[in-house]
Each structure stands twice: as C-alpha cells, then as structure tokens.
Amino acid sequence: MSARSFVRSVLQGHDAAAARHRAIFSVFLLSGSWAIVGGLFQPLLPLYVASIGGSATDVGLASSSHALAMLFSEPLWGLMGDRSGAAMPLLVSRLVTGTVFVAFLLRTDVWWVFVLQFVRGLFDVALAPIGRALLATLLPRQKRGTAMAMWYTTNQFGRSGMGFVGGGIVDTLGFRVLFVICAALTMGSAILGFLGLRRLPGVHPERPVSLDEPEGPSLPAPRARTRRELMRPFLIISGVTALGTCAQSGWRTFVPLYAAVALGLSASEIGWLFTISGLAVLAFTVPGGQLADRFGRRPLLLAGLGLSLIPTLAIAIGLAASFAALLALMVVGSMGNAAFNPARTALLSDLAPAGRHGTVIGIYGMAEDVGLLIGPLAGGLLWDRYGPAAAFSAFALVSLIALGTAFTLIRESED
C-alpha cells in the first residue's frame, strides 16, 4: 500500500482495514502528545516545587508519588483495555490527566503537588499498556519489533528538546501558561485519539486482530500453551526487564552528578551529553526493532544488555575521564537501550495470548516501574555512603546479572 493510499484509507475509509490503520495512527498520535507533554512538564517539576517553597525531599516525594501510582494502576488499565476496548479507557485517562494540569492552577501548596502527582500517575500511565497492546494485536507478529521500536522512538522524539521549550515558556510566560499548554495538548489528543479508536473492531481471544498484510520473512506462529507454560517465560522476561531498567535508570540518573562532581562539567555541557545521547536513541531504536524482527528477539535483547553494561563498568573503573569519553560511553549505552527496549516488548507481546495483550503488558509494566523506582533510590544510597564508584559498580553488576539471566534462561523457542 502506497503512502497516499494509506493516508486516504485512514482519513476516509470505513472498512475494517481502514479502522485498523486509523487506530495505529491514533496510537502514535497519543504517544507523541504524551511524550511532548512529559518533556515539557517533567524536567521543570523540581523547579516548580522549589518555587513554591518545597525542599529537595519534597522534589523526591513529588516524583515518587507519581511512580508509585503508576506501579499500582498500570496492570488495571491493561485489564480494562482488554475487557472494554481501548477507546473509552484512553479517553477517560487522558481527559483526567488534562484536568490535573488545570488543577495546578488552583493552589500553590506543596501537599497539593503530591496529590496531583499521584492522581496524574494513576491515569497518565494508561497509555503504556493499552497502546503497546493495541500495536501487538493490530500488527502481524513479524512487524511487532519494528512497531515497538517506533513506539519508543516516538516517545523519545517527543521528549527530545522539550525541556528547552518548557524552560523558555516558564522564563517568559510563567508556570501557569505551561500548565495550560500541557492541559490543552493532553485533552486535544484525547479527543482525536478517541475518534480514531472508537470504530476499531473488537478483539476476542479466539479471533485475534491483524492487518493481514504479511511482508518479509514470517516468524513461526507459537503453539498454544497452557497458563503454566506461559508463566515461566513471562516471569523470566519480567525479571530481566526489572534488572535492565533498574541499571539503565540508575546510571542515567547519576551521570549528571558524576559529570559535575568528578569531571567539573558545566550544566550546558551536561545538557549536550543528554541531547546527543538522546539523538542516538532516536537513530538506533527503529533499526534495532527491525533487526529483532529479522533475526529474532533474543539476539537483540542480549546485544542491548551487553552494550548497556559497558558505560556502567567503564565509569566504575575510571575510564570516563573526559567529556569526550563520557559522551562516547553514553552513546554506547543509548545503542544498548535502543536494542533492548523493542526486543523485550516484542518478545512479551509474542508470548501473550490473543485478546490478553493489555493485561499481560500491564502486569509486565510493573516490572519496568519497579526497576525505575529501585535504580535511582539504591544508587543514591550507595553514592552517599560509599561514593560514585560503588554506585556505578552496582549498576554494572545488575546489568551483568540481567545479561547472564537472559543468556541462560531465555530461549528462541520461547519467543
């Protein structure tokens, strides 16, 4: 199908294939707006908390309340998406999230920020399980790696550079205008996404949905397995994901502090480190997903974990002694991130029974959230008690355990 005919089918078509094309378009529209709003708001949240009299501990609590809410609500959203369809849960979640940004205008108390961050975490996370589950059910198995790579790329693209835009808005117009912009983007995308998803054909366990457009080499369809047979690979993949995201989130959280304390880099130089490494994620994620589709999920999963191990180990033993060296290591880590993320999500979506993708991916999202919580927390405790080398050594050890677990226990037959 040509690009012109695809766009025409999305905008004008009324048959099942057009509805599915429209749904895919809507998923990426929602994902892009989600990322843009997160990029505008999240980096400036610490500054807002400080501007209303909050302490460093208050900043941490504001972020933790959001993460804890995500941890508990993500599997529930996945289950709801499987049972009632994607359109209404996503509409409700995005509208409530937009209302939360409006509620920031009502009060300027620190405790109010904690409340709003918790509510935002409860509803904002709905797109993660439902959106990825939709891609898994709407696309053939041999395209899922690429689709998941495009999901992560869309999120990364939306966040790239938005901190600069948000900072400019706050410096010139203030935080209140930033909240209004975030609310408008969230609510506007909610309505457009609902219009694109409302006519999507239902997904049933006995009748999986696909676009029925196989291109390229087909992967063998997995045989039907019992719940007990599925549980073991699910737990293994979730454990590897928790370990991998723990190490990744941990070392990337403390690279700015390491760059400032150990190397004496300025804030602008640190900003360039993350800008260039973010561009590397954009450049390598889609090729990583394509390679996972072509050569299998396991090789790319192992490659991603291996590449992610390099920067943590190098920093721990003192090889990141300059801006150039640290930049090179962060680019290598970004390549590892680009290979690991789409491969692990595609691996899981291959494993999930038809009609249960949202539930499985929602529960699996808890493993991601646990890693995101534990990595920075453990790294901070180790840094304060034993120094930066201990923190990065711990991240390297966790990466090595994840790599060893994946190499030993994940087999291509389980893909």
What are the residue ranges spanned by the domains of the chain? Answer: 8-197, 227-414
Region 207-211: what's the mean pLDDT? 41
Q: Domain 8-197's class?
A: mainly alpha
Whether domain 227-414 has CATH 1.10.520.10: the reply is: no
- pLDDT bin (cut points 50, 70, 90) of residue 182 is very high
- pLDDT bin (cut points 50, 70, 90) of residue 206 is very low
- Integer Cα distance of 96 and 122 in angstroms: 10
- Integer Cα distance of 295 and 286 in angstroms: 14
Residue 215 has pLDDT above 50, yes or no: no
The pLDDT tens digits for 336-392 are 988 888 888 888 777 766 667 777 777 777 788 788 778 877 887 888 888 889 989
The pLDDT tens digits for 157-166 are 666 667 667 7
- pLDDT bin (cut points 50, 70, 90) of residue 199 is low
CB of 94 closer than 8 Å to CB of 193? yes
For position 214, what pLDDT does the model report?
Answer: 42
For position 355, what pLDDT does the model report?
Answer: 64
The closest of 107, 138, 248 to 201, measured between CA atoms, is 138
Region 172-177: what's the mean pLDDT? 88
Per the model's pLDDT, the better-predicted residue between 369 and 187 turns out to be 187
- pLDDT bin (cut points 50, 70, 90) of residue 326 is very high
* Cα separation values, 104 from 21, 61, 109, 115, 124, Å: 36, 17, 10, 10, 15
Residue 216 has pLDDT above 50, yes or no: no
Q: Which of 236-240, 325-329, 341-345 has the lowest mean pLDDT?
A: 341-345
* Mean pLDDT of all residues belonging to the chain: 79
Region 170-182: what's the mean pLDDT? 89
- Integer Cα distance of 341 and 381 in angstroms: 27
Residue 152 has pLDDT above 50, yes or no: yes
Tokens of 372: 């995101």
- b/e map of 389-407 (b: 16 or more CB within 10 Å)? bbbbbbbbbbbbbbbebbe
- pLDDT bin (cut points 50, 70, 90) of residue 205 is very low
- Integer Cα distance of 349 and 136 in angstroms: 6
CA-CA-CA-CA dihedral for 33, 36, 38, 44, to nearest 10? -150
For position 13, what pLDDT does the model report?
Answer: 47
